[in-house]
Amino acid sequence: MRVFTMAAFAALTLGGMAQAQDAQIGQDLYLKHCATCHGINADGQGPMGPALVVQPKDLTLLTAENDGTFPLMRVVRRIDGREPMVSHGSAMPVYGEFFQGDDTALKTASGQPVLVGRAIADLVAYLQTKQQ
């Protein structure tokens, strides 16, 4: 029974990792929830930027500013609210529970699997396509 349980867990975990994240869905989510502050091109030039205490980050430079490695865990933590941003006036995202649930797995640069909500996985996939 224990072998079956471990095999089932591995199949579910690997199945989640095998599902490709959808950068197109991520782009749609980004445009709906993030572009107002971070800009349509993810360059930090959104129309709400001037109203924020801290100016929005240029999200196209995440990899360049992290020695050529996309900072997956930092990005996930910012999106899911574990690293809150003062400029939002509350924990990020202001859309809260929308980004939770429907877990899927991402892999860090070291290969470590990380369970995140499908919406976060799709947003991360989109942001990775925007890196300079």
Topology, domain 20-129: Cytochrome Bc1 Complex; Chain D, domain 2 (1.10.760)
pTM > 0.85: yes or no: no
Residue 70 has pLDDT above 70, yes or no: yes
Backbone angles phi, psi at 122, to 5 degrees: -70, -40
Are 114 and 107 in contact, with CB atoms under 8 Å apart? yes
Give per-residue pLDDT as tens, 32-47.
999 999 999 999 999 9
Residue 95 C-alpha from the chain's centroid:
14
- Alpha carbon distance 40, 55 (integer Å): 15
- What is the pLDDT averaged over residues 79-96? 65
Residues pairing with 115 in the sheet: 105
Q: Where are the domains of the chain?
A: 20-129
In the chain the first and final C-alpha atoms are separated, in Å, by 49
